[in-house]
Amino acid sequence: MSDAGPLTRVLAAIDAGAGDRDRIVAASRLSRDVVDASLDHLLRIGRLSQESLALGCPPTGCGGCSSPTGQGCARPVSGPTLVALTVRRPHA
């Protein structure tokens, strides 16, 4: 894989299960800057799509957790946001 270009190496790392940027860097053996640029490019051209995943309850409470009140914890989202990446395959 070391002869492959950076976009191919980043996609291969994701396909192999690299679930975050640090794991993509390790699996692809590329610098973080190259991985960041590759991810940005893959998103721009539509080979990757991303979806932010919320953590915690909305400010109004979710009512979907096991808090004692049954009203949700009303814990605001804080810290890093999780992002799900989906690889889109070109049509043959």
What CATH architecture applies to the domain 6-87? Orthogonal Bundle (1.10)
pTM: 0.64
Position 25 scores a pLDDT of: 96
Position 49 scores a pLDDT of: 85
Backbone angles phi, psi at 51, to 5 degrees: -140, 125
Q: DSSP for the chain?
A: -TTS-HHHHHHHHHHTT--SHHHHHHHHT--HHHHHHHHHHHHHTTSEEEEEE--S--TT--S-S--TTSS---PPP-SPPEEEEEEPPPP-
The pLDDT tens digits for 13-65 are 999 999 889 999 999 999 999 999 999 999 999 898 887 766 666 555 565 55
Position 52 scores a pLDDT of: 72
Task: Sketch the domain layout of the chain as residue ranges.
Answer: 6-87
